[in-house]
Every structure is written in C-alpha cells, then in structure tokens.
Amino acid sequence: MASPSSLSNLITIIIISIISISASSANLYENVDITWGDGRAKILNNGDLLTLSLDQSSGSGFQSKNEYLFGKIDMQIKLVPGNSAGTVTAYYLKSPGTTWDEIDFEFLGNLSGDPYILHTNVFSQGKGNREQQFYLWFDPTLDFHTYSILWNPQRIIFSVDGTPIREFKNAESVGVPYLKSQPMRIYSSLWNADDWATRGGLVKTDWTQAPFSSSYRNYNDATACVWSASAGKSSCNDNTLKSQSGGGGGGDGWLNEELDSSNEERLKWVQKKYMVYNYCFDTSRFPLGIPPECSL
C-alpha cells in the first residue's frame, strides 16, 4: 500500500499534468481572435484546434492577439482536401496602413489529384511583386505540416517542416526598404479567389464541393518580439536588436539566425526541384532589369 506521502505526490503530479494539458489546449483561445466568417470559423477541442470554412456565401478568418516586431512563428496547417480549385488558404504577417509590410504564405487550391501551389510574397512599405511559387513534396491535405516564418533584422526565411524554401535578405544596401519598423499580426483566412487562384482563373470553384475547410493547431510565437502599442516598443531588449541589426551571423539565437551550410543545401534542393516561379528570373515582367534585391 502506498504511503500518504506517495499518494500526495501522485495527486500533485496528476494536478500539475491536468493544469499543463489545460494550458496547452487553451493556446488558440489565448493567442488568436476569430475576426470574420459569421460562425464559419471555430475553435474546438478546448482550444487545441481551429477550423476555417468557406461556402458560396462567405469565407472566414482569424488574427493573432499579439503584434510582433521580429519573430519566429510556427503554425501547423492541414489544407482543404479534394477538389479545392478556386480557393485560397492564406497565412501571413501584415501591418496596417497604406505603406504596409507583409510576409505571405498562400496555398492555391487545385483540382483533385493535382498538387497545391504554395505562393509566397514579401511586401515592404506597400511594394510587393516579389512572388515565388512552389509545389510541395507531400500532400498537404492528408495531415498537419508546420509552416514557419523567421523574420529578423537581417533576413526573412520561409520554412516547411523545418526545411527552408525561401530567403529574403535585408537589401537596404541596394536601396530596398526592409521590414524593420512596422509591427505585424499573423492573419489567416480561407476565401474564394477563382478569378486568379487556379490556372490563372481558368478553373472556377465547384460549389457542390462546399463547404471547404482547413484546420490549424500548435500556433507557436514563443520566440517572437511582442509589440506593446502602449509602450511603443517590443518585448525584446532594445540593445539586443540594435547590436544584431548590422547583418552577419553568429548563432546568437533567432534574432541573428542565418542559414548554415546544411540548410543552404536544403534550400537549393527545394528551389531546384519544386520551385515553379521566381520573379527574379522573369525578365519579360521586368524588361528594364530585375529588382535590385535579386542581386543578393
């Protein structure tokens, strides 16, 4: 028979476990707000899961409670299965205003059996037109996969399941404004874009397949600088930001993270095998010369 002290310790462990599970399961309630959709967006399973849905009347969306000025943010997403042509699942960072900054993941729907296209873009001070597009090396509708944005003073890195697919470097040295002064929130939405999303708008949304649904879990902003509007500063140490904003690398955490040789090779592998569009090579679009950041 267990001693009273052993039973007490066991009860304490159980209580701590329950509290931990509850805290973990409540993260979506704590981290995001549903912003539109008239009930089409739902937080389920005590906060472990969020779903967005789209029908012919409306899509739906959510945003992070926090704003960030630099961060490393992860989200696990399972995309709309089956015939999702015409739909777009967007997951992005964005600041308000007319000269906004933005970092985009957009998943362009497909006909059943065709691969999704992952569309990425970067806006600085309202200027975008920096699209790169990829096929994925797995079916993103069968299970959850982790989509990550690393944004620090030197670079932005897009990653899928830990594999970097795109790097956008600070190009202020060649006159390109960098995303460094405008706090941004995470947003996500599921919406109808059949005027352009699938084969340039040739394939329209099949509403007999509706409602369409995407799922989210494990939102992680633990390594991010949370912006306080009232204080006018982020949760990161100002001196740390200033000391690391001059470029270079050195392994001093995500604020100074850069691709090591292994990740450089993984990036090259993805871009060689799965990239389907890169604005830096589109000379017909830029007849006067490719944008200056492409030189980096």
Domain boundaries, the chain: 23-295
Contact residues for 31 (Cβ-Cβ < 8 A; gap 6+): 64, 65, 66, 219, 221
Spot the catalytic one: 30, 67, 102, 172: 102
pLDDT for 112: 87
Q: Which residues of the chain have pLDDT under 70?
A: 1-26, 237-252
Degrees, nearest 5: CA angle 161-261-225: 55
pLDDT for 238: 57
Taking Cα atoms as reference points, which of 113, 117, 114 lies closest to residue 105? 117
Helix (H, G, I), strand (E, B) or coil at 53: strand
What are 13-67's pLDDT values in tens digits?
Answer: 333 333 333 333 348 999 999 999 999 999 999 999 999 999 999 999 999 999 9
Alpha helices by DSSP H, 103-249 = 238-244
> Residue 102's beta-bridge partner residues?
94, 123
pLDDT for 27: 87
Contact 91, 147 (CB under 8 A): yes
Q: Does domain 23-295 have CATH number 3.40.50.1400?
A: no
pLDDT for 241: 53
Taking Cα atoms as reference points, which of 33, 29, 64 lies closest to residue 49? 29
Spot the catalytic one: 30, 67, 106, 172: 106
What is the chain's mean pLDDT, rounded?
89
Active-site annotation holds for 258: no
φ, ψ of residue 70 in degrees (nearest 5): 85, 145
Query: What CA–CA distance (Å, rounded) separates 249 from 196?
Result: 39
